[in-house]
Every structure is written in structure tokens, then in C-alpha cells.
Amino acid sequence: MDNHAGGCTMSENHFAVVRAVLAADLPAAAKLVLLALHDRQGANGAAWPSLTRLSRDTHLCRETVIQAVGKLEEAGVLTVDRPKHPSVKTSNRYTIQTGLISRLVHKTDWSKKQTGSGLRSRPDLVRNIDPNVVINEPTNEQRARKQRAPRAAPQRFTPPKVDEVSEYCKERQNTIDPKAFVDFYTAKGWLVGKTKMRDWRAAVRTWEQRRKAERPQAPVPDPEAAAIARATRAQLEAEKKTRAIVEAIP
């Protein structure tokens, strides 16, 4: 049975050509343009739609159609006869080399997946020793490991006693009053801000660092000021001796 599309009669091998085009190793846009040309080819195996018509048939922009035609020419499955004097009323004559399309069928390794950046290997499958377990399901050993290793429960905070804080302060050799420390946080419900305290030793170290920061630092001696002070004291001593000598004269 003959089908009609675009005023052209399709051959009986129409669907065989369509299957070959879909299986060919060509860009998607090139396949779409090739199918549109095949749909419009006449009994002589040629088609001559304009670029505007191809753009409408494929819903591709004009530039993409031109690039797709170039790809098909490079692949050798399309012959383009261009007019010597192009005009609005003339168009290219396209001849599809249907016998060559089958040579472009994919022969790549399907164990790899092609992406825009190159070939990317698929993730390795989980190989289970147990034949009754489906591939990529956790193995019996993995299930047992998860069951044997339950999550450890978080440690509950226990407020320290004054003796414990005192021993830790002695180890740290600081001047923190253990009783004042315990009383302070007991009054606050052992909260640090609005959060429950987790480590009272860390709080002791914080107090220690804060006291060091608040402790006034000894002034750095000025060598010039010290020299002036010594000279002043020497002058005062000399004046004192001179006065004593003068007072001792009858």
C-alpha cells in the first residue's frame, strides 16, 4: 500500500529506511533532517525542499538545519546539488544514499555511556555471592554488618562535683574557684547560652582563657625613661649630700 506525503509516493522500504536512520550513529538534528528529506523525496530518490521548509518540518532553526545537512554530507549519506546561481525561487537538490545509512549503525561498546565531555564508564554492579540475591541489592554480609553495628547513643551530660572540678583545675594549674564554677552553672541549669552544656572541662578552659585576657598586663619598661629616673635620683642624692656638708660647717 502506497502512502502520500508532500505530494510524493514513498517506496515500500520506507520503514526500513526510517529504522536505519534511527539506528545510525548521527546527531539527533541530522537524523531529523534526514527523515524529513526522506519523507519528501520523489520517485527519482531526490528531494528539493527549501531550508525554510526543512526548518518548519523539523522545528529546528535555519542554522541548525544547515549544520545537519553538512553532517549528513560528511557522513556520505546525502548528496547536495546546489544551484550555480542561488535565488529565492531555487533550492538545493538532495539525494539520499539509502544504501549507505546501514553502515552508520552504532557499533560502540554499550558498557559505556557517552556524555558531552566524553566517555564515562557505568558504575560497577555489586556482585553477590548468594545467587538468590538480585544484583545491586545489599549482600547478606552487608546486612549483618549494619545489624551488628548499631549507632552509638549520645552520651548524657552529668554535672560535675566540686571535687572533680578542683582536681581538673589543679591539673591545669589555674586559679579558678571550683565551688564558684559549680554554683554559677548550677544556677543557670548547666546551660551555655541557651544550649545544654556537653563538656564542663571545656567550660573550665574557657574561664581560664577569659581570666588571662582580663588580667592586666605589666607595662613594658621604657629604657629612656628609666635612664632619666636614675639620673634624677643620682642628682637628688648629690644635692642631699651637699646640703648635709653645708649644714655641718660651723
On whether residue 177 sits in a domain, the answer given is yes
Alpha carbon separation from 129 to 71, 110, 132 (Å, rounded)? 48, 25, 9
On whether residue 111 sits in a domain, the answer given is no
Going by pLDDT thresholds of 50, 70 and 90, the confidence category of residue 20 is confident
Q: Which domain holds residue 191?
A: 156-250
**pTM score:** 0.38
Query: What's the CATH number where 48 sits?
Result: 1.10.10.10
| The total number of structural domains that make up the chain | 2
Residues 66-106 have pLDDT tens digits of 998 998 888 888 888 888 776 666 788 898 887 777 777 75
Question: Strands, E, within 90-200: which ranges?
Answer: 93-96, 112-115, 118-121, 191-192, 195-196
On whether residue 63 sits in a domain, the answer given is yes
Q: Where on the phi/psi map is residue 76: left (φ > 0), alpha (ψ -120 to 50), or beta?
A: left
On whether residue 244 sits in a domain, the answer given is yes
Residues 178-224 have pLDDT tens digits of 999 999 999 999 998 889 999 999 999 999 998 888 776 666 666 77
Q: Specify whether the CB–CB gap between 54 and 36 falls below 8 A.
A: yes
Say if residue 45's pLDDT is above 50.
Answer: yes
On whether residue 242 sits in a domain, the answer given is yes
d(CA 237, CA 95): 122
Domain final residue, candidates 44, 79, 104:
104
